[in-house]
């Protein structure tokens, strides 16, 4: 049997196979951030499609951290009831599910977050055209507390764990990056300081939710930016996180400002699938916790080699599961062809993610 269909432990949790639905903002919540029937149906299909671990799209831990319209909220107890519908829908099947909790930082617009966007330092964002406001120390403390509170809501809603979003230039990622974090206090400067907020969130969630509730991080392995986060920094951060009790690391990269984000367009040859897997392999050499590899993985044979050769322990997919939520089941039943997704990126649809290619196909 393929290693991809063997279980794996993420901390205290057993995931039934090695496939992860990488966090994917679905634009399906209502305008206030409440879960809708469309959200629940989406997660139900992914679980029926046998994805081992399903990670939600980013849910904002503070109102100011809202990145885009129709995003799920996690900043208030009133969201727990709706979130619980997602966890219950997934748990009708063997799949597990984590809530991804996040704050957009400077990568949002005043019209989306209802405020002047915030950041570790006031560094202009040429993509959002926002000059963010620097967070005070009191606000950083509140941010940490709000991440911990959001994780508690995920646990109460019945999620199996949480993923802390520390990638793609969002707020925690911008603390890690020397390009966006120019602070001279204990929250900036050396990598230990830049990682302090993330580490305090992790230890706080562990203390509040208990060791039985797994916490994983989606980590930038590079910003692709002159003066930004490097792979060497990311490896050091991964080690610090593991020491602090982290249960797993999903290795991503990129920042909109660099002109190179995390969702690379265009079909790739089999040899080039897994565009962040080389970085995942480097991080895997440095830590003992499970590592999730991702980036344009489209074929079962490539996924199999990545895990069998020890470059990653789990395989994360986003767009192929928008195209076909049943892809993992089809792989298990013998599909050897590449996923049908052609990485055109037309699924970013503010009225709800959907594959724009589907109507064209029989
Ligand atoms: C529509 C869409 C929404 C996404 N939303 C998120 C998100 O909320 N959080 C996140 O960490 N990554 C997000 N991503 C990035 C994916 O998780 C993934 O890392 C990236 O698409 C590369 O994997 P893929 O080639 O399998 O699509 C999103 C990607 C897409 C296509
Ligand atoms: S629109 Fe469809 S084919 Fe294009 S990237 Fe999205 S899921 Fe893949």
Pairing of strands 53-60, 133-134: unpaired
What's the pLDDT tens digit per position in 102-130? 999 999 999 999 999 999 999 999 999 99
Pairing of strands 13-15, 8-10: antiparallel
Confidence grade of residue 332 (pLDDT, cut at 50, 70, 90): very high
What's the pLDDT tens digit per position in 223-275? 999 999 999 999 999 999 999 999 999 999 999 999 999 999 999 999 999 99
Q: Averaged over 83-98, what is the pLDDT?
A: 98
User: Phi/psi of residue 145, each to 5°?
Assistant: -60, -35
Handedness of CA 245, 192, 230, 144 (dihedral sign): positive
Ligand nearest to the CA of 359: 2
Whether 218 lines ligand 1, by a CB cut-off of 6 Å, is yes
**Residue 362 pLDDT > 90:** no
pLDDT at 360: 60
pLDDT at 233: 98
pLDDT at 333: 97
Whether 344 lines ligand 2, by a CB cut-off of 6 Å, is yes
Going by C-alpha positions, the residue among 324, 351, 358, 323 that lies closest to residue 28 is 351
CA–CA dist 307, 182 (Å, integer)? 38
Of 22, 72, 103, 166, the one to substitute when testing ligand 1's pocket (max ligand atoms within 8 A of C-beta) is 22
Q: Residue with the nearest Cα to atom 8 of ligand 2?
A: 341
Query: Within a 13 Å sphere around the CA of 301, how many CA atoms are in the beta-carbon half?
Result: 7
Asked if residue 250 lies in contact with residue 277, where contact means CB atoms within 8 angstroms, the answer is no
**Residue 196 pLDDT > 90:** yes
What's the pLDDT tens digit per position in 274-328? 999 999 999 999 999 999 999 999 999 999 999 999 999 999 999 999 999 999 9
Whether 323 lines ligand 2, by a CB cut-off of 6 Å, is yes
Q: Which atom of ligand 2 is nearest to the CA of 343?
A: 5
**Residue 361 pLDDT > 70:** no
Convert 91-124 to b/e letters by CB count within 10 Å (16 or more is b).
eebebbbbbbbbbbbbbbbeebbeeebbbbbebe
Per the annotation, the verdict on 170 as an active-site residue is: yes
The alpha-carbon radius of gyration of the chain (Å, integer) is 19
User: CB under 8 Å to 216, separation ≥6 — which residues?
Assistant: 10, 98, 161, 162, 163, 164, 246, 247, 248, 249, 250, 292
Ligand nearest to the CA of 316: 1
- Residue 294 Cα to ligand 1 midpoint, Å, equals 10
**Residue 359 pLDDT > 80:** no
């Amino acid at each position: 049997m393929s290693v991809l269909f063997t279980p794996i432990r993420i901390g205290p949790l057993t995931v039934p196979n090695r496939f992860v639905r990488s966090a994917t903002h679905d634009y399906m919540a209502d305008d206030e951030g409440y879960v809708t029937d469309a959200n629940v149906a989406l997660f139900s299909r992914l679980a029926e499609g046998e994805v081992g671990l399903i990670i939600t799209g980013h849910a904002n831990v503070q109102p100011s951290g809202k990145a885009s319209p129709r995003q799920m909220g996690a900043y208030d107890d009133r969201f727990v009831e709706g979130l619980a519908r997602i966890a219950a829908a997934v748990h009708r099947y063997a799949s597990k599910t984590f809530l991804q909790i996040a704050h957009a930082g400077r990568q949002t617009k005043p019209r989306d977050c209802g405020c002047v966007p915030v950041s570790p330092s006031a560094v202009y964002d040429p993509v959002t055209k926002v000059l963010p406001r620097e967070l005070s120390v009191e606000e950083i403390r509140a941010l940490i507390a709000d991440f911990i509170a959001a994780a508690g809501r995920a646990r109460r809603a019945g999620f199996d764990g949480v993923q802390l979003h520390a990638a793609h230039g969002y707020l925690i990622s911008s603390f890690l990056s020397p390009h966006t974090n120019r602070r001279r206090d204990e929250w900036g400067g050396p990598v230990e300081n830049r990682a302090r907020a993330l580490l305090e969130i992790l230890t706080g969630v562990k203390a509040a939710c208990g060791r039985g509730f797994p916490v994983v991080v989606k980590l930038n392995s590079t910003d692709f930016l002159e003066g930004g986060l490097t792979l060497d920094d990311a490896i050091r951060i991964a080690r610090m996180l593991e020491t602090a009790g982290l249960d797993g690391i999903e290795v991503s990269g990129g920042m909109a400002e660099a002109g190179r984000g995390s969702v690379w367009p265009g079909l790739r040859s089999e040899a080039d699938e897994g565009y962040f897997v080389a970085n995942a392999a480097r991080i895997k050499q440095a830590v003992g916790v499970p590592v999730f590899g991702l980036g344009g993985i489209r074929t079962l044979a490539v996924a199999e080699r990545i895990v069998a050769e020890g470059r990653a322990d789990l395989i994360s997919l986003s767009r192929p599961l928008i195209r076909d939520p049943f892809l993992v089941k089809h792989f298990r039943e013998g599909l050897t062809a590449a996923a049908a997704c052609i990485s055109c990126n037309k699924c970013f649809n503010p009225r709800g993610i959907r594959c724009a290619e589907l109507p064209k196909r029989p």
